Amino acid sequence: MSPSRSSKPYYLVLGIAFLATVAYVLTVVPGRSALPPVQAAAPSPSPSLHGDGLSDSHDGYLIRAVALPEKRGRAIPVAFQILGPDGRALTEYEPVQTKLLHLYLVRDDLSGYQHLHPELRDGTWTTAVDIGDGGAYRFYAEFLPKGRGGHTTTLGLPFVITGDTRLAPLPAPAPDSRAGAYTVHRLDGTAHLRAGRSGLLRFDVPGAVLEPYLGALAHMSAFEVRTQALTHLHPAADELTFHVQFPNRGEYRLFMDFQVAGKPQRAAFTVFVT
């Protein structure tokens, strides 16, 4: 029995569908393609939208751990490399506040802050850190590749110290902070800042004659409490005033290093951004 004239379009549609299916199998299904196979992309570093230390890669640069702390102790060796876009260890840097690389360490409760300046040898950075308690920690490496100009790049390396951990509560915003024998005043008291808007943080250290420290009057690192993202703040030329613009609402923990009579001092503040 032959198909009726009215049924021919139906079979024509089936034929077209069949040919389309065969074409799909030949071009898409693995092992059936007549075209050259597409090469799988090589594994890439974890992505980052901002150079805030929450990723191991940014701007084409990658931080690779060589030796990280595994237990509590003093003077624990740390070693790492910064790999450039060509995959090789970066060996040439521009100074940032008189140093080729600034390394920060903080626990996820924003305690145990350390600011270090590792030594570079044959493409590997080395230093030593003190780990007094367990918990989740992160290194932040801030640097500027030689000849690139512009802003610095900040990469992060997390690690965990196992065992019992005593978490430190976040201090509430306060107008004063003790730094050795000195009291640092925030001149704006506990005034809130506004997210996404430029603002000022102004400080004073009564009775202290500040000396240049890392090429400026002070050095300040700001960590967002919720994410632990890092922002490096630079002071004005001749006063303890920092221009800031925090992207998100919430609390930030600030660590300010300065120098008096040849000795570095550190103050810490909590600020709230609305």
Which domain covers residue 26, as residue numbers?
A: 8-39
Q: Same structural domain for residues 63 and 18? A: no
Bridge partners for 229 per DSSP: none
Quick one: which H or E segment has residue 15? helix 8-28
pLDDT digits over 207-253, tens only?
A: 999 999 998 999 999 999 999 999 988 788 778 999 999 999 999 99
Quick one: which H or E segment has residue 258? strand 250-260
C-alpha dihedral sign at 262, 137, 76, 59:
negative
Q: Same structural domain for residues 100 and 148? A: yes
CA distance 220 to 256: 4
Which residue, chain included where needed, has tokens 């065992």? 163
Q: Same structural domain for residues 210 and 262? A: yes
Q: Same structural domain for residues 134 and 187? A: no
Q: What pTM did the predictor assign?
A: 0.80
Task: Give the percent of the chain with pLDDT over 70.
Answer: 81
User: Is residue 167, in this structure, part of any structural domain at all?
Assistant: no
User: Is residue 66, in this structure, part of any structural domain at all?
Assistant: yes
- Asked if 244 contacts 193 with a C-beta cutoff of 8 angstroms, the reply is yes
Q: Same structural domain for residues 79 and 152? A: yes
Dihedral of the CA atoms 147, 148, 151, 156 (nearest 10)? Answer: -100
- CATH code for position 224: 2.60.40.10
- Asked if 219 contacts 101 with a C-beta cutoff of 8 angstroms, the reply is no
Looking at the structure of the chain, the number of domains it has is 3
Q: Residue 19's pLDDT band (boundaries 50, 70, 90)? A: very low
**pLDDT over 60 at 16, yes or no:** no
User: Is residue 1, in this structure, part of any structural domain at all?
Assistant: no
CA distance 241 to 185: 12
